[in-house]
């Protein structure tokens, strides 16, 4: 991997479903597929590691807690036209957590992947 690659790990319930979701809806391409345990997908400089329950990342912690999907951390993808992306993804049946929110820096919305992980689409304010 190049030094400019950013690696993010998401715990997922179903690696194949995650691959399909990220490649179909958000333009990622598959690097490796070792489903059901693991796969990694890429979009630009982002390498997203999709770790299923049978992956080494899914093993219990010393206290017995199991790593699991979800939470409020998320990858942040910049788009040119947020409204158009939201319309396209709604037609495709993608689930959203909220509606578009606008602030001084731009507009954003949260998508939910098949395992409950968030993806933020963000359109910077024109300035």
Q: 80, 117, 121: which is closest to 99 by C-alpha?
A: 121
pLDDT tens-digit series, residues 75-95: 999 999 999 999 999 999 999
| 8 Å CB contact between 60 and 21 | no
Q: Which of the four pLDDT bands, split at 50, 70 and 90, describes residue 3?
A: confident
Residue 126: per-residue pLDDT: 87
pTM of the model: 0.88
Q: Which of the four pLDDT bands, split at 50, 70 and 90, describes residue 2?
A: low
pLDDT tens-digit series, residues 25-78: 999 999 999 999 999 999 999 999 999 999 999 999 999 998 999 888 899 999
Q: How far does Cα 82 stand from its chain's mean position? A: 16
CA dihedral 69, 72, 77, 78 (to 10 degrees): 170
In this prediction, what percent of the chain has a pLDDT beyond 90?
89
| 8 Å CB contact between 42 and 6 | no
Residue bearing tokens 């820096």: 105
């Amino acid at each position: 991997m190049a030094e400019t690659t950013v690696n993010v790990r998401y715990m997922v319930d179903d690696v194949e479903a995650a691959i399909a979701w990220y490649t179909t809806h958000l333009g990622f391409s598959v690097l490796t597929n070792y489903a059901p345990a693991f796969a990694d997908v890429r979009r630009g400089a982002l390498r997203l590691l999709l770790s299923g329950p049978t992956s080494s990342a899914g093993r219990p912690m010393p206290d017995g807690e199991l790593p699991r999907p979800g939470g409020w951390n998320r990858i942040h993808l910049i788009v040119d036209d947020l409204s158009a992306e939201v319309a396209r993804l709604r037609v495709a049946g993608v689930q959203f957590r909220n509606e578009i929110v606008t602030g001084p820096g731009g507009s954003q919305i949260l998508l939910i992947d098949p395992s409950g992980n968030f993806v933020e689409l963000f359109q910077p304010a024109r300035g």
